[in-house]
Amino acid sequence: MADILTAASIAAPLSEDNFQRYYEEAGPDYAAWSARFNMHFGFFRGGMNPFNRESMLEQMNLEVLARLQLTGERPRILDMGSGLGTTLRSIGFRLPSADLHGITLVPWQVVEGRRLNSSSPHAARIKLSLADYEHTGFSSESFDAIYGIESSCYGTHRDKSRLIREAHRLLRPGGRFVVADGFLGPGKLRGPQRVIYRRLCDCWAIETLGEINSFMRELERAGFRDVVAEQIQFRVAPSVLHVPWVTLKFLLTDVVFGSRQMTRARWNNVLAPILLPFVGYPVGPLAYYLVSATRRELTIGSTRTTNYALTRDRS
């Protein structure tokens, strides 16, 4: 444990460098993880090949899409934290008539995402733009579905209330909101885990991860119903096990025998997956969740009732 703490101190916090700088510098490195720039962990289902990382990454896109429960011929969908738009392109392939929008705060992601869209026959309806997902500027009740894959963690505060309330404002009544991300679950960070967790957040330029129970309560308070949080740690684990090999391969091919220069942000990106197991479930409270909710359709005289559930994957 002491060795890990020493290693963590090597990659100093980004401090004045915000997360835009992190993704501008380290974003291209994600090509080592996914040739399609699926910048998230994967979802494993029985019968899948656990060595095929890209198929698990794509399956996470499909799991999110399934939970959006889309109806209608031309749904309008927003990706809050779209990265290079890979999930949107996946949805566009399956729903060619959908009106797809993605927002990010990283200019490089918009430019590169638009380039990738231009070479995809299923991306004509995808629009990528610079915007803050806590204050998007879109009209109220203008989307049928909203999602975020490993982007909610960048919202302010542990309950991510600003993100939630903006999603609620943008959704039409009955619209669905789905989030796939790491959250602090029940339990506490103990001893050195507090330092490791803080370093992990610094590496990823995150203020703090969401706290799952606070996040669910805030969804209910904002006006969502049918709130469900599925802990899918064991579904995600097979893709997480790819991290050591991908990291080693990247360091050898791009750094040791390559010409890439390592910046602080890029070292942070390498260090973060090493720190993750020391605070992740079952050693620590950090776990991966798929959270889904529906915007409530309020009528005159109706009352709100608490209606949320947390489930744990048993596979």
Which H or E run contains 130? strand 126-130
Task: Give the pLDDT confidence score for residue 18 in this predicted structure.
Answer: 65
122: confidence class by pLDDT, cuts 50, 70, 90: confident
Task: Give the pLDDT confidence score for residue 307 in this predicted structure.
Answer: 57
Number of residues that make up the chain? 315
Task: Give the pLDDT confidence score for residue 308 in this predicted structure.
Answer: 64
Task: Give the pLDDT confidence score for residue 250 in this predicted structure.
Answer: 84
Q: What is the dihedral of CA 8, 19, 233, 162, to 10 degrees?
A: 130
Strand partners, 149: 180
Query: Is 278 in contact with 193 (CB distance < 8 Å)?
Result: yes
Instruction: Tell me the per-residue pLDDT of 145-154, one tens digit each, with 9 for 90 and over.
Output: 999 999 999 9
CA distance 73 to 121: 19
CA distance 62 to 66: 6
DSSP 44-74: --TTS-TT-HHHHHHHHHHHHHHHH---SSS
Angle between helical axes of 53-68 and 233-240 (0-180°, round to 10): 150
Token readout for 125 is 């309806």
Query: Is 296 in contact with 173 (CB distance < 8 Å)?
Result: yes
Task: Give the pLDDT confidence score for residue 69 in this predicted structure.
Answer: 97
Asked if pLDDT for residue 161 goes beyond 60, the answer is: yes
Asked if pLDDT for residue 184 goes beyond 90, the answer is: yes
> Which residue is associated with the tokens 């494993």?
44
Token readout for 276 is 């993750």
Task: Give the pLDDT confidence score for residue 299 in this predicted structure.
Answer: 53
Asked if pLDDT for residue 302 goes beyond 60, the answer is: no
User: What is the residue extent of each domain of the chain?
Assistant: 2-312
DSSP 162-212: HHHHHHHHHEEEEEEEEEEEEEE-SS---THHHHHHHHHHHHTT-S--EEH
Task: Give the pLDDT confidence score for residue 29 in this predicted structure.
Answer: 86
Q: Output DSSP code: residue 278.
A: G
Topology of the domain comprising 2-312: Rossmann fold (3.40.50)
